[in-house]
Structure 1
């Protein structure tokens, strides 16, 4: 056991504790002493309880399984947090028309300074499976930037107001590895692919600001803790350091 034990806040015990230590691959009856946010001792219940102050609370989980927290080795934490917040709609839609209608309804509760941002659409799953264009977004958002982020994370679908705010025109040169779709007349359709999409996305989210992002982070960390996820590897998605 790790000592000292005089500052123990509580002890938890269970008949099924898996520690993953010492090559032992089965759950055993153990007790865990906790001080603040640290585990300071793990051992046989009688030994741990005897070593702690007499008034230390003991929480008995009976037969319930207790194990170390999970580590998520591949998580886009920024996008997961914002996508779970009130500021981004996560929806693939069943068609272009149905998704645009849902986005319009979602937008009613957004702050006045917010861009309308969603993620999840996959046009090949729609009925009918057709490529979307800015026209359907312009019809419901003539004056507000709207950016629809694809489910595969490689494509943006933008309305005319968003393209204007971002300075993207029919004459804009996409970055290497990216492209802007155009119609037969050479006009932008509102679709940006790969590096072009990744270059624009950080600017589409600037309106969030530090306070909203911090709130989204706190909520996401709470949700992960409730699910037993206690550490992550944060995988960057956008091209420049610090964007996510």
Structure 2
């Protein structure tokens, strides 16, 4: 078959008969009862699954539109339970520094970018000093060598630190006398001057001066992110923390029926208009493209910038235990506000101290206010004291985890953490064994959005070079079925959508993908190389790489 360039179908679709039959497929679906079913024929009507079965099923629907899947593997649409949609869209157009191996490489990339971008501020993301030879934070002076007269602000890959040049620092009126805000850190040089690195809540000292994006730019970022996610087989994504501008645009696009994919949006508790959004109540459109019924709260920083809050010192920084972005009292206030408005709370917690404080906060508020049945989550749950893991189950907290973080962080985590701290780190299997529902995602654009990278990491706990040979702390790895469940029904459950999404069962939306290799039989080292050929949402084709033959 002739190979075609990728084609995105976001707003317009070919007319389909009321019933569509996809046959001759190599189909798999998890089920609500915990089984894995195989099938070759999928019947769709009015955007929903009528039935799955063998190829004999096709004969029961004469006159339907029939599509030969050509033996390709068919899976339910994948759900990313933690990403940042507008951030991803922005990353596709802004300066991308992911994978830079040195300050010199960043400088070279910045210089090239500046030649063709004449914006009033240069914004970028993706640097990671852990990839550089000396692993040290850079300075404003390193950027000044390339750009002096235009403010430059570059976010670290995890979004928990920024690197600014002297012009940006000057425009923000930051001096040696500028106090460090609670929950943040200004890295200073030997003379106590700001070095150019601002961590967690200190970022706002700079970022509050960046011109606000226009509605047009947000809509553009949404469409670009949507097209990218569809090409990766993601039919639904959870957006972890939206501001008021995005909230208004999402609801407008949902009402107009122009969203590129399903989005489960969390209101950002850090937004100045948080209470206004809460008071407006929960939101859902009739076709389940937009759901807003949860709040994103931020408890600590990230491991890479040593902002994750730990119970003991960092192994590579004496007398430093990270940063809590909120006090327990403030966390309890935010949880109470959320629950009383009918919203669940999804709280970012990476370090073991942060996870413990967040669990304590949930427990206290449940006793006073209720809310335990709202399917509250801890986002990341990366480093958890072993004795606290069971509390997730007791308090009905969903661990929303990102498998790629383990393989991206493993070398850095070995340096940052002691063996004792690592016991409960990235503990997916331990959570599953105790009966917790794990919802899997990527945390794009911190990591690449490709869910097959996440599935590979979950199963192997290796990098793409199959290292370490036996996998890193491999006792916490998942099998292929459990990993797929975490990227489908796990995410659906976390969004209160397990009876609508996450599997190809009767009455659910017909969200599915066709891929070029059999996920369940391909050699494990090839899982991350799987390509998506087609992505369908509600029985409509949204992305195709290679067209299938249609029959009438």
Q: When the two structures are superposed, what TM-score results if normalisation uses the length of structure 2?
A: 0.38
Inter-partner Cα distance in structure 2 for 1:203 and 1:32: 53
C-alpha spacing 1:160/1:230, structure 2 compared with 1 (3 Å): same
Report the counterpart of residue 37 of structure 2 in structure 1: 26
Report the counterpart of residue 143 of structure 1 in structure 2: 149
Per-residue deviation, residues 18-69 of structure 1 (Å, max 9, x unmatched)? 243364413112232244xx125224455555446x2x43111132111210
* Higher Rg of the two aligned structures: 1
Instruction: Please report how far the alpha carbon of residue 17 of structure 1 lies from its aligned counterpart in structure 2 after TM superposition.
Output: 2.2
- Which of 101, 104, 114 is residue 107 of structure 1 equivalent to? 114
Report the counterpart of residue 236 of structure 1 in structure 2: 241
C-alpha spacing 1:49/1:168, structure 2 compared with 1 (3 Å): farther
- Which of 212, 218, 221 is residue 217 of structure 2 equivalent to? 212
C-alpha spacing 1:9/1:212, structure 2 compared with 1 (3 Å): farther
Q: Does 1:166 align with 2:172?
A: yes
Inter-partner Cα distance in structure 2 for 1:114 and 1:209: 14
Inter-partner Cα distance in structure 1 for 2:23 and 2:141: 61
Report the counterpart of residue 3 of structure 2 in structure 1: none
* Residues 137 and 197 in structure 2, CA contact (< 8 A), matched pair in contact too: no
Inter-partner Cα distance in structure 2 for 1:131 and 1:43: 54
Coordinate RMSD, CA, aligned: 2.9
C-alpha spacing 1:21/1:209, structure 2 compared with 1 (3 Å): same
* Residues 134 and 160 in structure 1, CA contact (< 8 A), matched pair in contact too: yes
- Which of 152, 158, 161 is residue 155 of structure 1 equivalent to? 161
Inter-partner Cα distance in structure 2 for 1:10 and 1:96: 54
Per-residue deviation, residues 125-176 of structure 1 (Å, max 9, x unmatched)? 3134443111121122111110121123321110111112333232222220
Instruction: Please report how far the alpha carbon of residue 102 of structure 1 lies from its aligned counterpart in structure 2 after TM superposition.
Output: 1.4
User: Matched residue pairs, number?
Assistant: 232
Q: Does 1:12 align with 2:42?
A: no
Report the counterpart of residue 103 of structure 2 in structure 1: 96
Q: Mean Cα displacement is larger for which, 17-26 or 166-175?
A: 17-26
Inter-partner Cα distance in structure 2 for 1:126 and 1:102: 15
Report the counterpart of residue 3 of structure 1 in structure 2: none
Report the counterpart of residue 223 of structure 1 in structure 2: 228
* Residues 14 and 65 in structure 1, CA contact (< 8 A), matched pair in contact too: no
Q: When the two structures are superposed, what TM-score results if normalisation uses the length of structure 1?
A: 0.80
Structure 2 alignment gaps of length 5 or more: 1-15, 243-267, 275-295, 297-552
Inter-partner Cα distance in structure 2 for 1:20 and 1:163: 52
* Residues 95 and 129 in structure 1, CA contact (< 8 A), matched pair in contact too: no
Q: Secondary structure at the match of 1:106?
A: helix
Structure 1 alignment gaps of length 5 or more: 1-5
- Which of 60, 82, 104 is residue 68 of structure 2 equivalent to? 60
- Which of 20, 23, 48 is residue 39 of structure 1 equivalent to? 48
Inter-partner Cα distance in structure 1 for 2:45 and 2:204: 44
Per-residue deviation, residues 166-196 of structure 1 (Å, max 9, x unmatched)? 3323222222011222223332211111211
* Residues 25 and 68 in structure 2, CA contact (< 8 A), matched pair in contact too: no
Inter-partner Cα distance in structure 1 for 2:152 and 2:40: 55
Inter-partner Cα distance in structure 2 for 1:127 and 1:181: 20
